[in-house]
Amino acid sequence: IGPTAPLASEAARFLMTPLALGQRRVLCSGMAAPTMEERKACWGARDEFWQCLDSHGDDAAKCEKLRRAFEARCPQQWVKHFDKRRDFLKYKKKLETEGFHPPEAAGKS
């Protein structure tokens, strides 16, 4: 049979996995991986929340309801990741528009 036999058996094993059969895959931590519909709902909630923050000058109090929906639709680790990502994207945009200006060295002689 040749070198492709192991690949064929790997493909057959993959096709029989619960993920390929339409079931949710369980991660090592015991949490189920989000389905495509759950991921789309999470991303939609994130986008609505971020849009609210953008339109209200990052006033989180005005977007509290959307924040709760975002947290309810996304896994906690994703919420943390997206919060950090938003901060990074805002910082990156600021650097692109204002440029980088290092602080003056305090101990310069």
Q: Which long-range contacts (CB under 8 A, 24 or more apart) does 41-44 make?
A: 41/73, 42/70, 42/73, 42/74, 42/75, 42/78, 44/73
Q: How many independent structural domains does the chain possess? A: 1
pLDDT winner (highest mean) among 25-34, 47-56, 90-99: 47-56
Give the per-residue pLDDT at 30: 60
Domain assignment of residue 5, yes or no? no
Residue 106 inside a domain? The answer is no
| Domain-located, residue 16 | no
Q: Per the domain annotation, does 72 fall within a domain?
A: yes
pLDDT at 60: 94
Residue 50 domain-assigned (yes or no):
yes
15 part of a folded domain = no
pTM, two decimals, is 0.64
Domain of 93, in residue numbers: 35-98
